[in-house]
Amino acid sequence: MSNLEIRTLGLDDAHQLAPLIAENAQALKRGAPRRPDEYYAERILGDRTAEVIGSFSKGELIGFAVYFDLPELITGLRIGQLDDIYVHPDHRRNGIGRNMIETLVEEGHARGWLHLRWLVPGKNVPAVALYEKIAEPDHRKSYVIPIDRIAGD
C-alpha cells in the first residue's frame, strides 16, 4: 500500500485503537464481540513499559503492534519483544503486518537490539504463516503460568 503510514501511537489515537483492540480480542478468543474500551486503549498507550505502533491508511488506523524493549541478561544487550500484532480483516494480505514488523526491525537497529522476539499464539494460522516466512524458529518454548488473582485477596 503506497499510502501507508506507520508511526508510534499516542493518547490522541485511543479512539481509533479501541475498536481494533476489541476486534483482536474477539478474533483470538472467539467469543461475543467486545465493546471498544477507549479508557483501556488510553491505559495501553500511556503504559510505561508497552509501546504501540499503528498502521494508517488515509488517516484511518487499520492495524497495530504492541512491543516491549527488554534486557537480555546473557549478552547484556537489549531485545524487542512483539506481543500483539493486528491488522483489520479488510486490509489483510497487503503486507501491512510485514511492514509493521520491518518498522520494528528498523527500530531495533536504532536501539541496538540483539533480536526481535515474536510471541505468536500457535492457533493463529495467519500469524504463524507470516512468522514462518520472515523469522526463524527459536530453541525456546513459551509456557504460561496462570495467576489466580482471587487467591491473593
Long-range (24+ apart) CB contacts under 8 A made by 119-126 are 119/81, 119/82, 119/83, 121/28, 124/28, 126/92
Predicted confidence at residue 21, as pLDDT, reads 92
Q: Are strands 113-118 and 77-87 parallel, antiparallel or unpaired?
A: parallel
Quick one: average pLDDT of 69-78? 94
15 and 62 Cβ atoms separated by less than 8 Å: no
Neighbouring-strand partners of residue 68: 81
| CATH number for domain 4-134, candidates 3.20.20.70, 3.40.50.720, 3.30.420.40, 3.40.630.30 | 3.40.630.30
Predicted confidence at residue 151, as pLDDT, reads 53
Burial of 112 (0-12, 13-18, 19+ CB in 10 A): exposed
Per-domain boundaries in the chain: 4-134
Q: Strand order of the sheet with strand 4-8?
A: 4-8, 51-57, 60-72, 77-87, 113-118
Neighbours of 145 (CB within 10 A): 4
pLDDT band at 24 (very low <50, low <70, confident <90, very high): confident
For the segment 79-96, what is each residue's pLDDT rounded down to a tens digit? 999 989 999 999 998 999
Predicted confidence at residue 143, as pLDDT, reads 66
The pTM score is: 0.83
For the segment 33-62, what is each residue's pLDDT rounded down to a tens digit? 567 788 899 999 999 999 999 999 999 999
